[in-house]
Amino acid sequence: MKKSLIALAAALFAVGTYAHDGEDHAASAAAGKAADGHSHGAAGHSHGDASAIGAPGDKAKVTRTVSVDMTDAMRFNPSSISAKQNETIRFVIKNSGAVKHEFVLGTEAELKEHYELMKKFPEMEHSDPNQVTVAPGKTGEVIWKFTKAGKIDFACLQPGHYDAGMKGAVNVAAGKGGAAKGDGHADHKH
């Protein structure tokens, strides 16, 4: 029942946020939407355009799976991950700690900004495809397509965790990527 109410509240909040896109910041803030494209409210938190870091991945197009462990030592293992441009990765995120942790993909600036909000609203819920909150002893997943070469950061934005160094990076190499070997699509053009 609680999940149903949260889902309903999130859906209603999303409709309200969409309806306020043309308003000024003061009106948007009252409706729960900041000028930077972030939405906040009792039902949750969502980001604006994620294209700077890629796009939500299609489960059917996953090229590989990367397991990431989150610990109460405020570390990710591994903390550095290599990817290829246009590769879709399924991140399996395990929380081997005793406290709640998050895996959030973003630019360093986005992560810092989001972290400041998490310090103000520590019980904020998330429903974005670039992140997952994982309870102690549980596992979650993020499927992400890396559309641009460069460094994409990830971090745990639970209060105190980011400051303690719970962060890492996906280093995306320029190139075709995306096609698994042996599928007949890696070496020719359409």
- Whether 153 maps to a domain, the answer reads yes
Shared-domain flag, residues 21 and 90: no
Q: Is residue 61 within 8 Å of 86, Cβ to Cβ?
A: no
Please tell me the predicted confidence (pLDDT) of residue 177.
55
- Whether 30 maps to a domain, the answer reads yes
For residue 77, give its domain range. Answer: 53-173
Shared-domain flag, residues 62 and 29: no
Q: Is residue 117 within 8 Å of 45, Cβ to Cβ?
A: yes
DSSP class per residue in 65-117: EEEEEEETTTEEESSEEEEETTEEEEEEEEE-SSS-EEEEEE-HHHHHHHHHH
Q: What is the mean pLDDT of each run of 10 residues along the chain (190 residues)?
A: 38 34 32 36 42 93 98 98 97 98 95 83 78 96 97 94 96 73 38
Long-range contacts of 32-40 (CB under 8 A, 24+ apart): 36/113, 38/113, 38/114, 38/117, 39/13, 39/14, 40/117, 40/121, 40/124
- Whether 189 maps to a domain, the answer reads no
Shared-domain flag, residues 93 and 6: no
Residue found under tokens 């462990």? 69
Please tell me the predicted confidence (pLDDT) of residue 174.
95
Shared-domain flag, residues 104 and 159: yes
Three-state DSSP class for residue 61: helix
Compute the CA torsion angle 143, 178, 183, 68 (nearest 10 deg). -40
Shared-domain flag, residues 61 and 24: no
Please tell me the predicted confidence (pLDDT) of residue 95.
98
Q: CATH number, domain at 125?
A: 2.60.40.420
pTM of structure? 0.67
Shared-domain flag, residues 23 and 75: no
Shared-domain flag, residues 26 and 57: no
Shared-domain flag, residues 100 and 140: yes
Count structural domains, the chain.
Answer: 2
Please tell me the predicted confidence (pLDDT) of residue 32.
35
Strands 87-95 and 64-71: what pairing?
A: parallel
Shared-domain flag, residues 41 and 57: no
Shared-domain flag, residues 41 and 58: no
Shared-domain flag, residues 149 and 71: yes
Shared-domain flag, residues 35 and 57: no
